[in-house]
Structure 1
């Protein structure tokens, strides 16, 4: 699991020259650990951890492992609830439930729309489940994959080394950030052709404009909003908001309304100029209209620049998940 500056971590290290003191004062121990907030690597490669205001340095050659923690305690029920809201916000073009897994197909466009996510208690990845999930995707001529959500799937069932990518779900309150926008951000109920072209080309995504439009305009019982920034008539930044709720799929009670912020892209020439911040802030403000109480976004764990930006905007780490091919 990749750690970024600002993450709460547990660093396991071998005892030796230059190692921090063992807080347990156990002379027989060969290893110890430090829990705190990762400040970052020092110039010599040592890991710097803020432990209750004390900066602890751990030599790189003594580090055995780095385990990332949620920024604050999170229950499994909270993880499952957020994943339900996210599934409603990006359900693909077809969905069903198989053995506790919410299974989506979206014509092959995006991992999220073409993967299964464990929303039912007791969901596993045993042989019978894998066979059923694989059959669903084979029948649609799609690659079979699932989103293995931290703590919802037994670790014995998963080899993280097989993840295609690992991602972090980050959360904050749904209110706008209050930053002064650097640019004007336009909100529409549907994406323009230019918005679709920008999203399709933003990361060499494979798909036709019609397919992309179908996937990004799909939501279950939610409100959608599409943000755009124009410069000389050309789109230079985009984003998407989806306000959906987190109640169980078989429940009639209303849960928390979440604003899921996705499809964020800024022209590389404008990154660092405040344009991306303006898009996120506008999407947060828009989401209050349909009643969003909380907001989330998802970012690849290795994208430390984006994680730092989202932390500055008040987002905190909630949980992680990885896409696993079956």
Structure 2
């Protein structure tokens, strides 16, 4: 049988669906395990979300992840994520993107190494180092895997270090919306611009917000800011959603809950609210980025239906 540590992973479930000639009839379901309780398991399949009572499960096990996405799919999602987090200072190096934003977040202050830099790798890395030094910043490179494996190998040889591995996780909106609405929680209010307390909650996690951060957060045409408040008007949870790219991906970012309000289901509640908004605006899929070492968040997103599409490393140049 499956265990809690299997939540968020790809599984196959053989289910008893009837009896014929005194022999059980089975059907198999393959998908991501998004929830497991004492009585039921829930998996997100290609056809939607399926809840199976444990008494009907004949056999269930974890299976290897689906095949790796094609390079084009990784590039398309990385470019959609870049559009959702638009660094105010930008340049191009062939198809690589150079980005700076007063050192606020690694995403907005790293070179995105996707596509052809239009020169040998060592020359491209030299150019990245010069550009960031000219802007008074430590050179960083965002290297999506497995697409940028040659980039990572070259950076290893040059002595670049790596920040913790980041998972780029995706989910159809369908399993997120299939979860029952939490009527016992305050509503998710969606606004075109964040309130001062929204900024304050984000600053508690991300540090002081420079002018570049405000430009990033507000620099997307289709974006929304989620607020959940208690009866006294105090902020319980926040998040930001943005729709970008030709595939109209919903990017979920800055999901945070006040310390005193944690473990009440507010994270899932907020993501469901963003998914409803995105579905009404023509989106069918969501993505988010989370560090692999943040096991609590990874487990939460797995229960929502998210699984890893690809990963990336943020590489740091040696301090000279």
The interval holding the TM-score normalised by the smaller chain is 0.7 to 0.9
**Partners of 1:234 and 1:81 in 2: CA distance:** 39
- TM normalised by structure 1 equals 0.72
Q: How do 1:115-154 and structure 2 match up within 5 A?
A: 115-121=110-116, 126-153=121-148, 154=150
**Partners of 1:55 and 1:169 in 2: CA distance:** 21
- TM normalised by structure 2 equals 0.73
Give the 3 Å change call, closer, same or farther, for CA 226–72 of structure 1 in structure 2.
farther
Partner SS for 1:324: strand
| 1:190 aligns to 2:181 (yes or no) | no
**Partners of 1:107 and 1:286 in 2: CA distance:** 31
| Partner residue in 2 for 1:164 | 163
| 1:114 aligns to 2:109 (yes or no) | yes
The CA deviation at 1:298 is 0.6
| Partner residue in 2 for 1:180 | 181
**Partners of 1:261 and 1:147 in 2: CA distance:** 19
- Is the 8 Å Cα contact of residues 185 and 227 (structure 1) preserved in structure 2? yes
The CA deviation at 1:282 is 0.5
- Is the 8 Å Cα contact of residues 118 and 152 (structure 1) preserved in structure 2? no
Aligned residues: CA RMSD = 2.8
- Is the 8 Å Cα contact of residues 191 and 213 (structure 1) preserved in structure 2? no
**Partners of 2:141 and 2:189 in 1: CA distance:** 34
**Partners of 2:160 and 2:93 in 1: CA distance:** 25
**Partners of 1:171 and 1:201 in 2: CA distance:** 26
Structure 2 counterpart of 1:92, from 60, 84, 87 = 87
Deviations 1:216-253 (A, max 9, x none): 1123xx401000111222222110011001xxxxxxxx
The CA deviation at 1:183 is 2.6
Question: Could you say which structure has the higher helix fraction?
Answer: 2
Deviations 1:81-134 (A, max 9, x none): 111110111121122211321111112211111111123247788321112112
Give the 3 Å change call, closer, same or farther, for CA 55–315 of structure 1 in structure 2.
closer
- Is the 8 Å Cα contact of residues 133 and 139 (structure 2) preserved in structure 1? yes
The CA deviation at 1:6 is 4.5
- Is the 8 Å Cα contact of residues 166 and 289 (structure 2) preserved in structure 1? yes
The CA deviation at 1:149 is 0.4
Runs of 4+ in 1 over 3 A off after TM superposition: 4-9, 52-56, 69-73, 121-125, 158-161
Structure 2 counterpart of 1:101, from 92, 96, 99 = 96
Give the 3 Å change call, closer, same or farther, for CA 293–228 of structure 1 in structure 2.
same
Unaligned runs of 5+ in 2: 11-31, 34-58
**Partners of 1:187 and 1:302 in 2: CA distance:** 30
**Partners of 1:131 and 1:137 in 2: CA distance:** 10
